[in-house]
Structure 1
Amino acid sequence: MAMGLFRVCLVVVTAIVNHPLLFPRENATVPENEEEILRKMQEHQEKLQLEQLRLEEEVAQLLAEKEALKQAEEEGQQQSESYTAWNLWSTLCMILFLIIEIWRQDYQDTLFPECPAGDEDELSGLGGAPLKGLPLPNKATLDHFYEHCIRSATGDATRTREFVEGFVDDLLEALRNVYSRNTDMEMEDFIGVGSMYENWQVERPLQCHLYVPFTPPEPYSFRPELWCSSLSVPLDRQGYGQIKVTLADGDPLGCACSKTKLGEDMLCLLHGKSGGVQPSGGGGDEMKDLLCSRETSHLDAMQVMKWFQVALTRAWRRIAHKYEFDLAFGQLDTPGSLRIKFRSGKFMPFILTPVIQCNDSDLYFVPQLPKEAHRGPPASGTDWFLSFAVSERQFLRMIGKALPEDACHLSCLQIASFLLSKQSRLSGPSGLHSYHLKTVLLHLLLSRQAADWKASQLGVRLQELFRFLERSLQEKKLHHFFVGNHKVPEAMGLPEVVRRAEPINLFRPFVLQRTLYHGTMDFFYEMLRNAPTLISEYSLHVPSDRASPPPKAVAL
């Protein structure tokens, strides 16, 4: 009860205290400040609204950033997962490649170990299976094989060379008499090249290869243009050059029509009456279009060969009555290939090739591509192949003087060439040629001491030749011996532009032709596998000297 009275009294007192008549407000008498208050309140309200908008924008921005961050995190997680997977795969691949490379290096070390002379080395086998060394027969069997199957088979090489050289001398002299020396090409003395003149030919029948240099009549001259004199030469033109016909004074026009009055029976060397390329004088209708390519001053290789064939035919007709045999063109795909056919049915092939000397060096431009080089055909008829055959013969002669008297370097090359020839007859041709074998031997001659080529080291050097060849086949790289090789003695007299040139890869066709490469590798390992059997069989049963059947010939 007392508590209730207390509450009533508290309410009454509060009402009295807050009555306006008893305690009036101070600002009740200043109504003029109301507008200012309202204005301030409106401004404050506007500020609040602006602040609210700013806060809403910040909240929206924060939400957007949060969403973007979340999306970025998701994408980053996905990328991280893929990157981790890629790193794992890359690592595995790298480890695998490293294992393969280590295995390859170890495998090659077993194939080509640096062991002392006399130790047998390992060669890779056919089909990936290792073939421990080249299982050559013992030294006695190998020596017997060489003496009875190679040396005896090539014993008549000297007589063959003498006979062919005597006949070619007579043929060239007749050719010089057919044409005037003042108005036609001048033929110089022949030069013997190739295996017959390097004393290592083993294929039957024996065949001489002779170069016949020729020069133009006055007032013309030949100006060779080496492929390596240019900074940028396509790979398919490496090893080729062009021959430009100019006046003797270096006139770039290369034509004397405007400077010399030609007779009615004279034709310009470059331009004939019909505007085509014709020789000067004495050639007749059959000698038209024979020297330069049309509308150029460069010699056309095929036109030169056509002219040379016609010249040989006319020369033979002048002397045919002196001989008791027939002369015919041999291989139709090799211009200059000739074949002497005796009445007994035997024949003797040889090759005459017209060539142009490269300045004053031992290098010569040949109009057709040697088969042994195994390079692609020339890009045009004005491309001439640069031959090092004379330099190779000179190098073998020079290096032979420094070797022991009974050196085995040529014997090694003969046996390798013999095995290559026999395997070619068994399984057909391949990308390997005897020129590759000779190139390998030339490289080895520069890398070995003279004492390493004693006759007793024949088996070891033969294995080393095949190891070098195998490694070159695996790498698809066999550099030309002279081009870009700074180890070649300066006494060889090579042009400086040849010494500074980039090396030519003789195995470049294997890089471009996969089928050819695999076929050649199979051929090579098959040859190695058959080598012991061939050597043993031929050393026990010496075959009789039977000439291979002659190719179809076209009579002159």
Structure 2
Amino acid sequence: MHSGIFKVCLVVVTAIVNHPLLFPNNDTSVPANDDLIVQKLREREEILKKQQLELEELLFREQEPAGDAKTESEEPEGGARWDLWSTVSMVIFLMIEVWRQDFKDNSHEQSKEEEDLVFIGNHCHGVTLPNKPMLTIFHDQYIRATTHDAVRSREFVEGFADDLLEALRSVCNRDTDMEVEDSICVGSMYENWRVNKPLICDLLVPFAPPEPYHFRCQPWVSDPSIRPDRQSFGTILVCGPDDNPSGCVCDKKRLGEDMLCLLHNLTTNDKKVNEEINLLCCKNSNYLDVDQVMKWFQTTVTKAWSKISHKYEFEVTFSNLDSPGALRVKFKSGKVISLNVTPVVRYEDSNLYFISHFPSMPREVSCSIQWMLSFAVYERSFLKDFAKKLPDNSCHLSCLQIMTFLRSKQCHITGPSGLTTYHLKTVLMHLLLSQPCSGWANVMLEERLRDMFRSLEKSLLEKKLLHFMVGNWKLPDTVNLPQHFRVAEPVNLFRSFVLNRDLYQQTLSMFYEMLKNATVMINEYSLHLPNGSASKPAH
């Protein structure tokens, strides 16, 4: 009987050892293309199965009655023992099978996406992109033709913005209203890679409260209590005279309640200033409210334009109600120029700004006291300084322009996705630091464009694209970013893909469709010279 128990245990052990959970068929440590190893594994599997069948047959024979060798009194005891071990064996086999099925069900959903990604992950390496001559023709005949009037548009916008902001200051009360600084030009138009029409100029307008009030910016970039997808945000605390130990920004002795500060021409109990400030704060708090600032700015811009509109022979309207400074200038000739004048708050004495929203991106639904961080000034400075190290007529901006064009055309076909032009720009800036400067010569356009596609694909599959400025130890010293942001934990710009699977699948599908259609789109919008005659590019 002991031998029977031993055989039962042996059957169980053999089944467990031979179970596919312990020796999966898709073991990635085994080379799939090594026929000899695969054949040996199959032979070993057949031997184990044969041994298992033999043991099961012996177990079945052990269950047969032993005839004259057994007495009637021994049969119930042996049968009871056998029933016990048989039951235990059945339970063990049942537990293993339930565990296996549960494991397969759980892992199936988790691995389904990864299996699909492994399958489609090779597309970028095998995709047929247009060759160098075709890319050059496309860039020279379509992109340059599209952006040839960019310089004149920028000059007009800068002059008009200066006039508008001067009028804005004149309609404000200098003692109680916000102080508006000169505009700062940023974005693709001023980095020379804007492709799509209409050509939109982005301008930042810093503002600050009247003294003795001031803003205290509180970035969340290194706050461990903040969710990873919100670390590129922060809050702005409005501080008044009571928050200053001296009671006045001149840092002299505390003045009496009714005494006048000759330096700042403000009394310490100026209730009107306090009321104006409170209108821009979130209810029952001292935090600057995004929605209130947007309403204030839009109202003030409207008053400013009404004051100077008689000087111009064009119309100015708000092109986007969700963006307070999204203006559309329409001339009598029908020409249209768009500009985004966005209110921002400067972070300390740096070129980092807290922005209400990014006009080129849909505004996220979030708490109204959360402001986004904008590194646009640093990014423009980096691209401008780095271009001095590259060969003449380098192809880095051409790569970004082509990818931006393809993304825009594909989104018109398949609809919007989670992939933005800022993501493409981030990929380019990372590649600039990882590639030798000599590798960006114009003759390397095809190779560098393929590198950008591969880098973007890798980031999408990993759902990880690190912010170029925050926590980037490769950042050149010429980028005078505050040390607090240099040593911070990197921010993942693709964090939304981890949280939103539908958005991720939609974006990934759009990316591979864009790859597949790249050659067709570029050929369609290129200037073909089949018989020496030129045809106009499609629009």
Residue pair 1:364, 1:387 contacting (<8 A) in 2 also? yes
Alignment of 1:36-435 (within 5 A): 81=12, 84-85=15-16, 88-93=19-24, 96-98=27-29, 130=123, 133-247=126-240, 250-251=243-244, 267-270=271-274, 272=275, 278-279=276-277, 290-369=279-358, 371-372=360-361, 376-378=364-366, 380-435=367-422
1:187-215, Cα deviation, whole Å (9 max, x unpaired): 11100111001000001010000000111
Q: Identity over aligned residues, as a percent? A: 49
What letter corresponds to residue 316 of structure 2 in structure 1? L
Alignment RMSD, CA only?
Answer: 3.3
Structure 1 residues 544 and 493, CA gap change in structure 2 (3 angstroms):
same
Give, in whole Å, the separation in 2 of the partners of 1:166 and 1:492: 28
Structure 1 residues 315 and 260, CA gap change in structure 2 (3 angstroms):
farther
Give, in whole Å, the separation in 2 of the partners of 1:476 and 1:301: 30
1:457 alignment partner in structure 2: 444
2:464 alignment partner in structure 1: 477
Give, in whole Å, the separation in 1 of the partners of 2:135 and 2:386: 25
Residue pair 1:175, 1:315 contacting (<8 A) in 2 also? yes
Give, in whole Å, the separation in 1 of the partners of 2:346 and 2:31: 50
Residue pair 1:246, 1:255 contacting (<8 A) in 2 also? no
Residue pair 1:476, 1:508 contacting (<8 A) in 2 also? yes
* Alpha-carbon distance, 1:496 to partner: 1.5
Residue pair 1:220, 1:254 contacting (<8 A) in 2 also? no
Residue pair 1:125, 1:131 contacting (<8 A) in 2 also? no
Give, in whole Å, the separation in 2 of the partners of 1:225 and 1:376: 19
What letter corresponds to residue 197 of structure 1 in structure 2? Y
Residue pair 1:254, 1:297 contacting (<8 A) in 2 also? no
Residue pair 1:145, 1:539 contacting (<8 A) in 2 also? yes
One of 521, 524, 527 as aligned partner of 2:508: 521
1:415-456, Cα deviation, whole Å (9 max, x unpaired): 111111111112211111111110000000000111001010
Structure 1 residues 537 and 236, CA gap change in structure 2 (3 angstroms):
closer
* Alpha-carbon distance, 1:247 to partner: 3.4
Query: Unpaired runs of 5+ in structure 1?
Result: 1-68, 104-123, 273-277, 280-288, 547-556
Structure 1 residues 416 and 182, CA gap change in structure 2 (3 angstroms):
same
Could you state the TM-score of these two structures normalised by the residue count of structure 2? Answer: 0.74
What letter corresponds to residue 382 of structure 1 in structure 2? I
What letter corresponds to residue 163 of structure 1 in structure 2? F
Give, in whole Å, the separation in 1 of the partners of 2:410 and 2:379: 26
Structure 1 residues 233 and 370, CA gap change in structure 2 (3 angstroms):
farther
Count of aligned pairs: 437
Residue pair 2:157, 2:201 contacting (<8 A) in 1 also? yes
Structure 1 residues 237 and 136, CA gap change in structure 2 (3 angstroms):
closer
Could you state the TM-score of these two structures normalised by the residue count of structure 1? Answer: 0.72
Question: Is the partner of 2:236 in helix, strand or coil?
Answer: strand
Residue pair 2:326, 2:359 contacting (<8 A) in 1 also? no
Structure 1 residues 401 and 353, CA gap change in structure 2 (3 angstroms):
same
Structure 1 residues 366 and 131, CA gap change in structure 2 (3 angstroms):
closer
1:54 alignment partner in structure 2: none
Give, in whole Å, the separation in 2 of the partners of 1:131 and 1:391: 31
* Alpha-carbon distance, 1:248 to partner: 6.4
Residue pair 2:176, 2:273 contacting (<8 A) in 1 also? no
* Alpha-carbon distance, 1:182 to partner: 2.3
Q: Which has the larger radius of gyration?
A: 1
What letter corresponds to residue 523 of structure 1 in structure 2? M
1:243-300, Cα deviation, whole Å (9 max, x unpaired): 11113685399999x975699x964445x4xxxxx34xxxxxxxxx631112211111
What letter corresponds to residue 325 of structure 1 in structure 2? F
What letter corresponds to residue 292 of structure 1 in structure 2? C
Question: Is the partner of 1:242 in helix, strand or coil?
Answer: strand
